Chain A
Amino acid sequence: MNKPFAITLDPGSSLANRTGTWRTERPVYVNRLPPCNNQCPAGEDIQGWLFHAESGNYEKAWQHLTKDNPFPAIMGRVCYHTCEGACNRANLDSAVGINSVERFLGDEAIKRKWKLVQPAAESGKHVLIVGGGPSGMSAAYHLRRLGHRVTVYEAGPMLGGMMRFGIPKYRLPREVLDAEMQRVVEMGVEVKLNAKVDNIQETMKAGNFDAAFLAVGAHIGKRTNIPAGAVSKIVDAVSVLRSMEGEEKPMLGRRVVVYGGGNTAIDVARTAKRMGAEPIIVYRRTRDKMPAHDFEVEEAMQEGVMIKWLSTIKKAGDASITVEKMELDANGFPQPTGEIETLEADSVVLALGQDVDLGLLEGVPGLEVTDGVVKVDANMMTGHAGIFAGGDMVPTERNITVGVGHGKKAAKNIDAWLRGITYVAPPKPPVATFERLNTWYYSDAPKTVRPMLDIIRRQSTFEEVQGGLDETNALFEARRCLSCGNCFECDNCYGVCPDNAVIKLGPGKGFQFNYDYCKGCGLCVSECPCGAINMVPENN
Chain B
Amino acid sequence: MTDPILFKDIDEPGLRTLEVYRRRGGYDMVSKALAMTRDELVHDLEISGLRGRGGAGFSMGKKASFLPKTTMDKYLVCNADESEPGTFKDRELMTKLPHMLIEGIIIAAHAAGANRAFIYIRGEYQEVADILDAALVEARDAGYLDNLPLVVHRGAGAYICGEETGLLDSLEGKRGNPRLKPPFPANQGLYQGPTLINNVETLMTVPHIVRMGGESYAKIGAANSTGTKVVSVSGNVQRPGNYEIELGIASRELIYGLAGGPPEGREILFWFPGGSSSPVLTKDELDVPYDFDSMAKAGSMIGSGAIIIVDDSNSVVDVALKLASFYRHESCGKCTPCREGTNWTVKVLERIQSGLGTPMDLDIMASVQDRIIGNCLCVLGDSMAMPIGSMIEKFRPQFEEYMESRREVAA
Whether chain B is bound by chain A comes out as no
Interface residues of B (CB under 8 A from A): none
Residues of A within 8 A of B (CB): none
